[in-house]
Every structure is written in C-alpha cells, then in structure tokens.
Structure 1
Amino acid sequence: MPVPLPRAVAAELLGTFALTFFGPGAAVVDAQTGQLGHMGVAAVFGLTVAAVIAALAPISGAHINPAATLALTLAGKFPARRALPYVGAQLLGAALAAYLLLALFGLRGDLGVTVPAVGTGRAFLLEAVMTFFLLLVALRSGLPWTVGAAVALEAAVGGPVTGASMNPARSFGPALASGIWTAHWLYWAAPMLGAVLAVAANRFLSPAAPVEPEPHGAQEFAPRGGQA
C-alpha cells in the first residue's frame, strides 16, 4: 500500500535537508577550520546519503534528488503524479538547510555552492557523466552503502572541478541562500540528462529475472521495488 503523500513528501523534505545541511555544511566547516579536507567532505556526502536512504527509503524511497525522481518516473517505478510534490519538497528542504547554514556560519565557504572550476562545457559533461553513473548504481542496487559509496567516490573525483552536485536540489539551496548563481543552469540540465541516460542504460542491462531488493534498501531503485 502506498505511503500517504504528505508523509512521503515530509520524508523527502527531511532527507534533502539532511543532505544539504551535512554535505555543503561539511564544506563550510572545512573552510572555517581546515580539519576535514577534500576527502573528508566527500566522505560526509557519502555517509549522509547512506544514512538518509537507510532511514527514509521505506517511507518515500529517499530520492532526495530531482534527477532521481525523474529517473524513477521515466523507469515506470514511480507515479508521475507524485513527481512535482517530491521535487518541491526536495527544493524546500535544501533551501531551509542552506539558510540554516547561513545563520550559523555566514557566507563562510560560500555555503558550499557549486560553481564550475573549468569551462561550462566540460563541467556540463562531467556532471552528466557523474549523475549517469550515480543513478545507474542506484537503479541497479539501491542499497544505502552502495549509493553512498558512489556519491563519495564521485565527490572525491569531481568535487574540485564542479562541486560534484549530481543533484539540482543540492545546488539550488546554497545558490539561493548565497546569491551565487554562476552557471547554475548546468546543475539542472546535466543531472537531468544523466538521469535519462541512466534509465536507458538500465533498460538495456536489465536481467530477464529481476532481483528482489534488500529489505532496507531504497526499494524504488531496485528492479522490482515498491512505490512510495
């Protein structure tokens, strides 16, 4: 039986709040203290995603990412009528987290805003490729540790280049609170392209007999997952 929409939307808001508060928050703390380092920030992103999926996947599927919601909708694993409420909740959660970071730390570290360190063309391609692999892993596994590991891995590689967003909501919150909108469009367009490509690749790779998801995984992402 589907979880009532208000509960599912609340879970998406809380999950995206956590992602934005602890992920960009780690970048803010590192800018202030220098204690975490780049790999520490990447690890915080991955651990946060893993924790959120473990806690909230049974309620909402723990999308916490408009690109993930798009991928699931295109894959036929999520009802289209719920997509816009989910995305709205994700954006609101990210914005609230970013404004809390602003209240706590000011504009230290630009609130972890994602800004490309290379040309927009290369940044677009990198964000699309990273989102593709993240969502492909999520669609074919959905387990907290695998998705979290993918996030940490890609944040470690792509963080210094693009911020390794792979998530329009994660980029939107800090941009709104900081007022820094440099090349913000690519942090929407590239993840959405990556989502479309991940769905296409997953359909091509799908086994004839779907594998049952693990009980505590993000079950919507698994081949026979339930709908939130």
Structure 2
Amino acid sequence: MAKIAIGSIGEITKPNCIQALVVEFIVTFFFIFAGVGSAMTTEKLAGNEVVRLLFVALAHALVVGVMISAGFRISGGHLNPAVTIGLCAGGHITVVRSLFYWIDQLLASVAACALLNNTGSYTCSWDGFFTRCYNGDCVDFSLIFTVYATLVDPKKGFLEGLGPLLTGLVVGANIMAGGPFSGASMNPARSFGPALVSGVWTDHWVYWVGPLIGGGLAGLIYENFFIVKTHVPLARDEEAY
C-alpha cells in the first residue's frame, strides 16, 4: 500500500517547489484560457449543440495534451486538483505540496477567466486595442513556452521528437479559443502579408506588440529559470587544435 507523505511547510522555500508552482500556474492558466475561451467562442459560431460540444471537446483535448507535456518535467502538469489529490494518495506528491498546488491551480483559473472576461466584454476602441494585445501576449506566451519545453529544453525526455506536433496542437487550441476575439495570430509575418496585400492596416500594430512581448517573456523566463545548464569548461588554446 502506498505511503502518503505529509511533507512540511518548509517545502515552499525549496527551489524545485518554487519552480514547480510557477510552471503549474502557467500550464493551468493556459489550459483554462483555451478551455473556457473555446466555450465562449461557440457563442459566436453557427451550428447545433453537438457541433459546439465537439468544438469545445477538441479544444480541451488539444490544450490538455500540450500543457501536460509542457509542464511534466518540472511540475508534473497536473492542471487539476483531482489529479493532484490522486497522486498525493499514491505517494507521488506530499500533502503539503498538494495544498500549494491547489491554491496555485485555483489562482491560475481565476486569472485566466478574469482575462477572458475582459476579452469578451470590451466596447471602446482603446479597450479593444489593449484586450487584443493581452490576448496576443497570452497565446504567444503559451506557444513559445511550449516550444521551449518540448523542443529547446535539453531534458525534454519522452518528448524528444514530439515538439513539432505539440507546437502545432497548441496553435490549434489557441486559434479555437482566441480566434473570434483577436484573430489569434501568433506570428507577425502571418499578419503582415495579408495586411500588405489587402492594404488594410487597422490595428496592425497590435499583432506585432502582443506576440513579440508574449514570445519574448516566455523565452526569457523559461531559459533563465527552468533550463538546467551544465557548465563545460572551454578548451585551452593549445588543446583546441
């Protein structure tokens, strides 16, 4: 029978716990953002209830698969308090850390829904500008975070070779969640070509600012906080030949 580990409040000060909580917040946030966002999107889509249900189910399937993979090495990618308690019951995570995870997951859910609420309710043009910027920040952050976790991280383990597929899946989930609100363009080049050919530049700057900020932050955070680097001394001059 598995032994349940209680743990201690001091776990919160350990670097690996802090890293795990940060990553668990990120992956849970984007799971909720895409999942709830896709449900909001169905309100803008034509079709019967079955089509809408399938749309939401597909969006959840895509984002869950990607976010679990992206968070697995560092936090386990639980996304769900029920998963956390199940793993706690099996002795895979301490009771204390489980409580930290629960708080983390709930805060991530609230933050994602608060952002989605603003996304779906803006009225004036400046609100629209900033809402689409925030939306672009989020979808591109999730995209680049996935790229780092599944392609760049040298300790990606079982994800080796799956990076391109997982990156494509998170793009699909982001489009399903954010497409009707902002276009969910995660690529300034993708936005620039149509704008130039059509001559329509309305709010075009948003499709540069959002993705560049979101992508830059994701790369900066993952590279500096989650990638474990091994120091390899440089060869001496005489040994370099």
- Shorter-normalised TM-score: what interval? 0.3 to 0.5
- Larger RCO, structure (CA 8 Å, separation 6 or more): 1
TM-score after normalising by structure 2? 0.42
TM-score after normalising by structure 1? 0.44
